Structure 1
């Protein structure tokens, strides 16, 4: 398992004659240690077309200093990156764990050396009370070389200052930056040394540009008066956002970060639902083949998510105790994560990501896509709501009410997502429809979660190790049954409180 670390830092350009100012007495960091100097040698790896760098990701093997090894850095927010580390190993062999975490970007393309950096680093550590490390200020003299071509490019040299937080506060980061700027340093525009070295060679991918263009077209049409938004604008902006969530969520899901699998799974469901609810807007020839592949990916993610929900549900019920049968469930979850990671290495998965990118870059728009969104979207949202209403009405007449409830829940999700898509154009009216559909979905979801929990508890009881464990499982079963029936009985009341579309 790779070591993880959240890196929060700011970078500054500095002239050759820049003098590092006195850094003691900053907020929470009363003292500054003596300067220490290291020489760092780093080789950066990427695909031939710099796919990682285009997404702000860096992968390097570095020797020297206190953290020699492989470092993978991925954006995690303003001034912050998630850093994952692995031992040095062999020079040209990227650790499999790190390579897997960027597979959604590389998609089978080999990782190879693209640049080397040699850094003469002088570090000043800032300490708080009790000797706690609040931050490090690194004064770097950098020599970098682009090694992508056989004839290596000439070396580039520059100086930069990095301020990285330890357990210090954002106020410390801000104050250190202010002192550096007063001494003559300036915030750098590059997010990394590699970005500075390769510069214009790093360009956004076609998929990233297409996603940004979809959003920009809709925003311009709505906010800037550049013509009315079309239905195609609204649909493609929504799909582009969901495709971005899938790609960006991939590494987090592989790492098992909190709620990451859930967010990725919901994005997949939203894409699949949109392709169904907005069929008049998109050509079937391109969208229909995506349906089975999206369903497959949702199921792969769903196995992990369902076990995760069960485990957290039972942990809450038990108030912190962990009986053996709950350990069994945790082991099942870990096994499901292994299957998930294996599935996310398959060519089938990369082919799906490629097709989703193509869907955004080359939209298969049908005739309805060119119609005014304010006129067309109400009809399409209402159509999804009516489908949900028919499913709900069928529950009372169905031979198998369980199946009818399940179909109603799926229809509620589709109605919700259809309304969410329309919200940027239709505003409050669509937001209310989405909220009503979500309420129906959640009531039915509460019932379904209880049923699934009951089934698991029943199976666990059949394997009970003793009468005490069987008794506890029986109590939990009764609890889940009560909550499931309460949710089921609340459905009609919740439905009566919904208003339905009124565009």
Structure 2
């Protein structure tokens, strides 16, 4: 099987492009924005199952099996069903990877790339060049970053008592804020931004680890059935990880909140 990292990096790149598009109102034509949003969603939706199965096969299943071997022994019936699930996952992964390759080698994907590089990026560069100067650009960037920071803070009010959906919303808000800070990074002193972006990255990583554990039972149920022994074992593992990650997420949020917003003077 191909190195799965390319799918992960492709999804990151496309999400960053979507973040850039979201900041492009007034620079790109509305029909161009809508077309790019539609095509980026198509790419993410097509590559998403492969990425979910990569995480499940390479991270979740080995962790669950290690816990089972430690507690129940290598010869337990549940361990055997888990290994059967591993083989089934490998088959599904190959199909998902094939679909991903078909996506990025398709004429439709080629048109998407050409539209991005031939229309969107030149328009964005032209829009930036037409601005009144670096100071105006910094004020514009600060306003947009601040808006996303406030959205994250609002979502995080439910961090302590929130469940999977609430933490997912916080993770998405953190991701959008991070992409905005990266997009406008050159407009601000690097030293001021470094600590903020580092704390934000740690928070995003903790939320991502929680999300991977939270979706594992759904992936297992789709592969093995909701009542299979392996699915039950993964649900138990997921619940344990969720409880432990709550403390890590809270600590990451506290550290992030303590960092001064780099786009505000003072």
In the superposition, the TM-score normalised over structure 2's length comes to 0.77
Alignment of 1:37-116 (within 5 A): none
Q: Deviations over 1:246-301 (max 9, x none)?
A: xxxxxxxxx8224111111100011101222x235733523232112111111212
Kindly indicate which of the two structures has a greater share of residues assigned to helix.
2
Q: Choose the corresponding residue for 2:88, options 328, 351, 356.
A: 328
Alignment of 1:161-310 (within 5 A): 256-276=2-22, 278-279=23-24, 282-285=27-30, 286-310=32-56
RMSD over equivalenced CA pairs, Å = 2.9
Kept after mapping to 2: 8 A contact 1:446/1:484:
no
Map of 1:71 onto structure 2: none
Q: Give 5+ residue unaligned stretches, structure 2.
A: 70-78
Kindly indicate which of the two structures has a greater share of residues assigned to strand.
1
In the superposition, the TM-score normalised over structure 1's length comes to 0.43
Q: Deviations over 1:175-231 (max 9, x none)?
A: xxxxxxxxxxxxxxxxxxxxxxxxxxxxxxxxxxxxxxxxxxxxxxxxxxxxxxxxx
| Counterpart Cα distance in 2 of 1:368 and 1:486 | 50
| Counterpart Cα distance in 2 of 1:275 and 1:493 | 32
Does 2:129 match 1:384?
no
CA shift for structure 1 position 402: 3.1
The alpha-carbon distance between structure 1 residues 384 and 279, as it changes in their structure 2 partners (threshold 3 A), is farther
Map of 1:423 onto structure 2: 185
Does 2:62 match 1:315?
yes
| Counterpart Cα distance in 2 of 1:284 and 1:496 | 40
Map of 1:412 onto structure 2: 174
Kept after mapping to 2: 8 A contact 1:443/1:488:
no
| Counterpart Cα distance in 2 of 1:457 and 1:344 | 27
Residue 365 of structure 1 aligns to a residue whose secondary structure is helix
Q: How many residues align?
A: 240
CA shift for structure 1 position 421: 2.2
Q: Choose the corresponding residue for 1:351, options 111, 120, 130.
A: 111
Q: Deviations over 1:285-318 (max 9, x none)?
A: 2323211211111121221111011000113543
Q: Which has the larger radius of gyration?
A: 1
Map of 1:342 onto structure 2: 102
Kept after mapping to 2: 8 A contact 1:281/1:366:
no
Map of 2:242 onto structure 1: 484
Q: Deviations over 1:433-459 (max 9, x none)?
A: 222222222222121111111223455
The alpha-carbon distance between structure 1 residues 395 and 369, as it changes in their structure 2 partners (threshold 3 A), is farther
Kept after mapping to 2: 8 A contact 1:274/1:414:
no
Kept after mapping to 2: 8 A contact 1:381/1:415:
yes
Kept after mapping to 1: 8 A contact 2:171/2:207:
yes
Q: Give 5+ residue unaligned stretches, structure 1.
A: 1-254, 465-469
Residue 127 of structure 2 aligns to a residue whose secondary structure is coil
| Counterpart Cα distance in 1 of 2:131 and 2:91 | 48
